[in-house]
Amino acid sequence: MWNWLTLLKRKDPHAAPRLCERCASPSLKRKIATYPVDLTGRLTGRRVDVYRVELDQCRQCGHLMPTPEGQAKVKRCVKVGKKIFLKGLD
């Protein structure tokens, strides 16, 4: 018997599978980890570490790529991190 929650959580079977950006392997493993982001411009040399980001890790080369949800979190955290660093520079 189908539960309505299982229908909401199912992935779209027609969606294209994600590929590794480095080696184009389709074999990815979901992982929660810290994702470092090096800043540029006036903040060159500084880094924002974003904790507990949902990532896809390639099983062939080990490359880490944020999932779409993880990328949204990284974007939010980097925005706040930049504000904090710039406030300290003034």
Task: Determine, yes or no, domain membership for 12.
Answer: no
- What pLDDT sits at residue 88? 79
**CATH assignment of the domain containing 60:** 3.10.20
Is 80 exceeded by the pLDDT of residue 16? no
Note whether residue 13 is domain-resident. Answer: no
- Domain contains 66: yes
pTM: 0.75
Structural domain of 48: 20-89
CA distance 89 to 85: 6
Q: Report the side by side order of strands in the sheet with 64-66.
A: 28-38, 47-58, 64-66
In total, how many domains does the chain have?
1
Any domain includes 40:
yes
49 falls within a domain? yes
Say what the pLDDT of residue 34 is: 95
